[in-house]
Structure 1
Amino acid sequence: MTDATVGLLRDAGLLAGEPDELYREWVRWTLAAGHAPADVVEVARAENVTATTFAPLAGRTVWRGPDRRPYVRIDDARRARELARLTELLNGGRPSRTDPRRDRNRWSYSGMLGLNRGDAGTTVKRGALVATPEGTLMAVAGRRALRTLPNPVDWFAARGGTTWGEMYLVNGSFDDPAEILRTTVESGRKPPGSGAPSLARLLRHERVHSEQWARYGYARFIWEYVIRHNPNKPCEHPLEREAGLEDGGYRC
């Protein structure tokens, strides 16, 4: 079906020349998302997919889950948003529809409370960062990564971790954060400390939290999550219930 869909894309004038493997992979995952071949043509048109769309991913480290879904390692935080968007698209997602969330959470990528160049964030020195199929980020801190002065991430990072805008930060620090990410992705199992049934379900849960950050905004989300409701009672917490208690590993 991939070859037939590529033919339709070429006939529609959306593909010139021979597509590379990443383009063909995009076709496969878009079909797997439930789209008919003719629908993939409309997705390509809406998302402006061309033969060169995935060129920024060439040569980058790609880790794959048990289902072979690609996760792209980010070695320069200045490109985190671009690579997260491309990873979502490659996995059959529709990043044009989730861009408003990234716009609202743009502080996740830059500025005092966002990502630093070459590492995974203001509290994650010498950390590792990966773009996920949900179009969000997952980060692991390096050893002795947390700075002296606390910030809200430190205050309510608990259990397996917490989502901070667009970034899910695994709780704790590790000698080899990239290896923690790699083994988590390739096994498909929950990251250290998490009670989630699987990585895929955890990321689905955390993506809803990213949507909540975007909906409420920075200060309002913290108010809703930490002050208005008790974060120590997740089974009664409306934001956790909305995100899916079982996906997050909460047993109520």
Structure 2
Amino acid sequence: MIEPTVGLLRGAGLLSDEPDEWYREWVRWTLASGLTPEQVVDVARDEGITAATFAPLAGSTVWRGPDKRPYVRIDDARRARELARLTELLNGGRPSRTDARRDRNRWSYTGLFGLNRGDAGVAVKRGALVATPEGTMMAVAGSRALRTVPNPVDWFASRGGTTWGEIYLVNGSFDDPADVLRTTVESGRRPPGSGAPSLARLLRHERVHSEQWARYGYTRFIWEYVIRHDPRKPCEHPLEREAGLADGGYRC
């Protein structure tokens, strides 16, 4: 159905140049999301997709899960938001509908701990960062500076990992954080320390937490999660229940 859909896109005036493989892959995953070819045309129109949309992915490191879905490594924190959007789009998502969340969580990209490059800047400098099909990011901390002092990225992760804004932080410090990300993505299994049934379900769970960060704001989310409710009792925690206890690996 890919080539017939490309023909429809061309006939609708939405595709004038020859599409590259990224464009065809976008068609593939958008069809796989359950849309008809005609609906794919509507998505292209709404999202402003052209033959050049995925050009920024050229030269990027791409890891693929067992289902061949692409995850794009982020080496430059200045491009974190752009690559997160493109990865969501490439996987059949609708980033125009999730941009409001990214706007509310903009400190993940600019400000706070990473200063003008946001928390993404800390993750890139002190570990490894990848954009996920959910339109969020996943980070792994690098090695410890001192044996008794965790990597700065790991300061903000606990237990099975922790989401801060747009970034899910895998718990622990690792000598080769990029390899930990790669093997996690390619295996499709939960990352180190997590009890989730699979990476895909974990990322779905953590994406809901990103939505909660956006809904409550930085200070209010921390108050709701840590002070108003007891994080040591996840099965009773309303924010964990909303995110999906089974997806997060909680056995209640």
**Do they fold alike, i.e. is TM over 0.5?**
yes
Q: Deviations over 1:187-213 (max 9, x none)?
A: 000000000000000000000000000
Residue 196 of structure 2 is matched in structure 1 by 196
Residue 29 of structure 2 is matched in structure 1 by 29
Q: How many residues align?
A: 251
1:148 deviates by 6.9
Residue 81 of structure 1 is matched in structure 2 by 81
1:121 deviates by 4.3
Which stretch of structure 1 is more off in the superposition, 144-153 or 67-76?
Answer: 144-153
Residue 154 of structure 1 is matched in structure 2 by 155
Residue 216 of structure 2 is matched in structure 1 by 216
Residue identity opposite 1:173 in structure 2 = S
CA 1:148/1:115 → structure 2, altered by over 3 Å: closer, same or farther?
farther
Q: Deviations over 1:63-108 (max 9, x none)?
A: 0000000000000011100000000000000000000000000001
Name segments (4+ residues, structure 1) moved above 6 Å: 146-153
Question: Which secondary structure does the structure 1 equivalent of 2:30 belong to?
Answer: helix
- Alignment of structure 1 residues 14-93 onto 2, 5 Å: 14-93=14-93
1:159 deviates by 1.6
- Alignment of structure 1 residues 103-252 onto 2, 5 Å: 103-114=103-114, 120-122=120-122, 125-144=125-144, 154=155, 157-252=157-252
Q: Deviations over 1:144-182 (max 9, x none)?
A: 169979999836x32221000000000110000000000
The 8 Å contact of residues 75 and 124 in structure 2, kept in 1 or not, is answered as no
The 8 Å contact of residues 153 and 164 in structure 1, kept in 2 or not, is answered as no
Question: Which secondary structure does the structure 2 equivalent of 1:213 belong to?
Answer: helix
TM-score scaled to structure 1, two decimals?
0.94
Residue identity opposite 1:111 in structure 2 = G
**Structure that is richer in helix per residue:** 2
Identity rate, percent: 82
Distance in 2 (CA, whole Å) between partners of 1:143 and 1:150 is 6
Question: Which secondary structure does the structure 2 equivalent of 1:72 belong to?
Answer: strand
TM-score scaled to structure 2, two decimals?
0.94
Unaligned stretches of 5+ residues in structure 2: none
Residue identity opposite 2:224 in structure 1 = E
Which stretch of structure 1 is more off in the superposition, 158-167 or 179-188?
Answer: 158-167
CA RMSD, 1 decimal: 2.4
Distance in 2 (CA, whole Å) between partners of 1:152 and 1:128 is 10
Distance in 1 (CA, whole Å) between partners of 2:151 and 2:67 is 38
Question: Which secondary structure does the structure 2 equivalent of 1:246 belong to?
Answer: helix
